Chain A
Amino acid sequence: MSRKVSIVAVAQTEYEKAKPAWREAEITYQVVEKLLQETGLSFAEDGTGIDATVTCSSDHWDGRTLSNIPHGEVAGSHLRAEEKVSSDGINAVIYAYLQILSGHYDTVLVVATCKESQTVGYIIENFAFDPAYQQKIGLDFLAAAALQANRYIHKYGITPEQRARVVVKNRGNAKNNPYAQLRKPVSIKDVLNSPVLAHPIKLLEVKPVSDGACGLILAVEEKARKLTRTPVWIAGMGQCYESHYLGDRDLAECDALSLAAKDAYRQAGITDPLRQIDLAEISEYYSYQELLWSEGLGFCHKGNGGKLIEKGVTELGGNLPVNPSGGVLSGNPILVAGTARVAEVALQLMGKAGARQVPKAKTGLAHGTYGPCGQHHAVLLLRA
């Protein structure tokens, strides 16, 4: 592996509970336009432009087959290479990374978009379960998450207060993030008193419905150095599938995440994540997931996720700030969430994170997941 790949620019829309004024592709274009302006790149085919596009959207959420048609059109797909990764957006970034590593392309545009507000999410999620055994029970991702949360709580004694602390921390961080959807801090009492959606998960422990887009431009080293003074290098990558059937796994564990992290850490030379990583943006669609995923990522021992947050390690001023952006709980759309994690880590390493900047951030971790109870995990290690 001889090539080095860098993130040279990132752009996000503001995340909102609904964007009724904009069609999906218009939301995509808001991000694409910013990226083109920031880098001065075009879609020229003489070797100076963007070589290919990876979009991330979903037929189900957009309500049409080939949902990449409108998104691709505004992201340079006309008579050019465009591909759609229809899962969590971190995989779109990873795909662009692989494309550049392969030597086939030098510069790739990635954009993920979802307009959750126009669709009924739980019906779509129900169609992710196998139709013979699990779908007919009526599971959606919230119901599956409740099963996982219960198992995790039972096995490791995670308390409601520890889960609530995740929400309080992330919502507190979100007030510094101009793109975040929920920027009003909440208290532990607010979280504990919010209505139960699926026991033990309460309203404030769930990510809100959200609309928006996030995009990045990745480039090979020689080009990256010309495009930006603050390149962010991809130092490690890991991906892993978990078993589909919920009964086939111990839901209190996330082995797939540990395996994905192991690959990424090996490539990046990380042996002690807590010391060597300066910040992490991880995908917590539900409060308990930040604790469980922290264990999977090796930030603490199994079962110690609750203690990790109690000790303040993951606070903005802590040893390893987790989700200084406010995380998914403060509002990122499905699919976009993973891309936004990468973008937020990149902003931190570029030193462009504004009020949410982690001082002296040199190494960051971005995590994305999709599927019920985190069936697929992906980890990217980035370096300034």
Chain B
Amino acid sequence: MANRVAIIGVGQTYHTSKRPDVCIPELCNEAIRAALEDAQLTIKDIDAVVMGNMELFEGRYHQDLWQADYVGAYHKSGFRVTTGGTTGGTLACTAFFCAASGLYDVIMAVTFEKQSEGDSRAGLKTVADPIWDRWISTGAIGTFARLGSWYMKTFGATEEHAALVRLKADRNACLNPHAHLKLHLKTVEDVLKSEMLVPPLRRLDMCPTSEGACVIIVASEKKAKKLSRKPVWVKDWVEVHNETRYNRGDPVSLENLEKAALTIYKRNGITNPRRDISMAEIYEPATWAELVWSEAFLFCEKGESYKLIERGVTERDGEFPVNPSGGVIATNPIGATGLIRVAEAALQLRGDAGPHQVSREVKRTFTTAWGGSSWTVAHLLSKSLD
């Protein structure tokens, strides 16, 4: 088993659709300053800086080079890891690997997305195989419309259930100072009257296009105990990629998500996730994703997740809060999104989430990142070391 490491600082920018006032490195710098302040450290305490984002979205080649001066990487160690939508989740793992290696004591992971400076949709269009899948229009909207219609047909969920997920996300986002969309939606009808994109997916079922940055500071066990009053311990992490074919196979394969969850549960003695874990921050870019993937992550039986939302189980003050931050449905700076899940879970474990702190005591959290063809990264964080 891996050497133990802890998260000792987190920082985010506020997230919004356009930040013309800053360039990419300046955006990252805001999150770094926030994380250093949170950890009560200076840049001199940092041994290495690892970075990541969606490689093609802003068009920059070796993005880390331009960032280096602004993120305190000058004359320090570091490198860049990029895995598509999972990048933020992967970067957390990268920092965990570095801190556990024994070669570094304190590592900073820096993620961002600034989509107004590039063309994310053009980027996503090139994800399919340029020969075999050349004419397939890849992108998020079609993927999640298909997921929604499959779920409705298979389990009898309705559009209203998806709307309830949005209402929950919006209620939480309105309390989260960093969240992007705060729509103050009141009723299911408010969601259902939004524009239909691809049935059954409406505009308010989808995440926004956000820009922002997120940073976490990770330390080895020894350093964490020395430097931090409230270290958040990293219990485990797992990454599951797969073969990507858009022209064949199960259109709503949940294999990756299920394998990631099962692996991490099994390794950590979790037999009943809703009992053994306090809350989850999952990467759900659409309402339907939260419904279907809650089942893949074994928060409930197959076909039961819409009943969870009906009963308020996953609300911020419910039995098993899911995405008390407002989640990806409210905020999606893609490269940073996976890391925001980890940062938010760390704040919840520390009891420092502020207005969107969950009501019950948070002892253990489950976080995920999603990207590619359902690539999944999952982490298990804990308040205590054992």
Instruction: Flag if A241 contacts B76 (CB, 8 Å).
Output: yes
Q: Any chain B CB within 8 A of the CB of A81?
A: yes
Q: How far is the CB of A296 from chain B (nearest CB, A)?
A: 13
Stretch at the interface among A96-104, A183-191, A344-352, A358-366: A96-104
Interface SS majority for chain A: mixed
Report if A104-B97 is in contact (Cβ < 8 Å); known contacts: A81-B238, A83-B83: yes
Q: Any chain B CB within 8 A of the CB of A60?
A: yes
Instruction: Flag if B242 contacts A78 (CB, 8 Å).
Output: yes
Which chain A residues in 41-63 approach chain B with CB under 8 Å? 52, 58-60, 63
Instruction: Flag if A124 contacts B61 (CB, 8 Å).
Output: yes
Instruction: Flag if B75 contacts A82 (CB, 8 Å).
Output: no
The answer for the CA separation of A371 and B238 in the assembled complex, in Å, is: 31
Q: How far is the CB of A6 from chain B (nearest CB, A)?
A: 15
Q: How far is the CB of B286 from chain A (nearest CB, A)?
A: 19
Q: How many A-B residue pairs have CB under 8 A?
A: 193
The answer for the CA separation of A292 and B255 in the assembled complex, in Å, is: 51
Instruction: Flag if A237 contacts B103 (CB, 8 Å).
Output: yes
Stretch at the interface among B62-70, B204-212, B311-319: B62-70
Report if A69-B55 is in contact (Cβ < 8 Å); known contacts: A98-B97, A102-B97: no
Q: How far is the CB of A204 from chain B (nearest CB, A)?
A: 26
Q: Among the listed B23, B61, B240, which residue makes an inter-chain contact with A60, where contact means beta carbons less than 8 Å apart?
A: B61
Q: Among the listed B3, B65, B81, B256, which residue makes an inter-chain contact with A376, where contact means beta carbons less than 8 Å apart?
A: B65
Q: Any chain A CB within 8 A of the CB of B177?
A: no
Q: Any chain B CB within 8 A of the CB of A238?
A: yes
Chain A contact patch, size range? 35 or more
Q: Any chain B CB within 8 A of the CB of A66?
A: yes
Stretch at the interface among B31-39, B126-134, B178-186, B274-282: B126-134
How does the 8 Å CB contact mask read for B56-88 relative to A, with 1 for contact and 0 for none?
110111101111110001111111111110000
Report if A127-B61 is in contact (Cβ < 8 Å); known contacts: A95-B81, A95-B94, A244-B68: yes
Query: Which of the listed residues A52, A66, A84, A128 has the most CB atoms from chain B within 10 Å of its own CB?
Result: A66
Q: Any chain B CB within 8 A of the CB of A94?
A: yes
Instruction: Flag if B77 contacts A239 (CB, 8 Å).
Output: yes
Q: How far is the CB of A202 from chain B (nearest CB, A)?
A: 25
Q: Any chain A CB within 8 A of the CB of B303?
A: no
Q: Any chain A CB within 8 A of the CB of B101?
A: yes
Q: Any chain B CB within 8 A of the CB of A173?
A: no
Instruction: Flag if A98 contacts B101 (CB, 8 Å).
Output: yes
Q: Any chain B CB within 8 A of the CB of A137?
A: no
The answer for the CA separation of A338 and B264 in the assembled complex, in Å, is: 34
Instruction: Flag if A101 contacts B56 (CB, 8 Å).
Output: no
Q: Any chain B CB within 8 A of the CB of A87?
A: yes
The answer for the CA separation of A75 and B248 in the assembled complex, in Å, is: 21
The answer for the CA separation of A315 and B48 in the assembled complex, in Å, is: 35
Instruction: Flag if A64 contacts B127 (CB, 8 Å).
Output: yes
The answer for the CA separation of A259 and B73 in the assembled complex, in Å, is: 13
Query: Which of the listed residues A79, A103, A241, A263 has the most CB atoms from chain B within 10 Å of its own CB?
Result: A241
Q: How far is the CB of A26 from chain B (nearest CB, A)?
A: 12
Instruction: Flag if A241 contacts B68 (CB, 8 Å).
Output: yes
A-B pairs, 6 with minimum CB distance? A1-B102, A102-B100, A101-B101, A81-B239, A103-B2, A127-B61
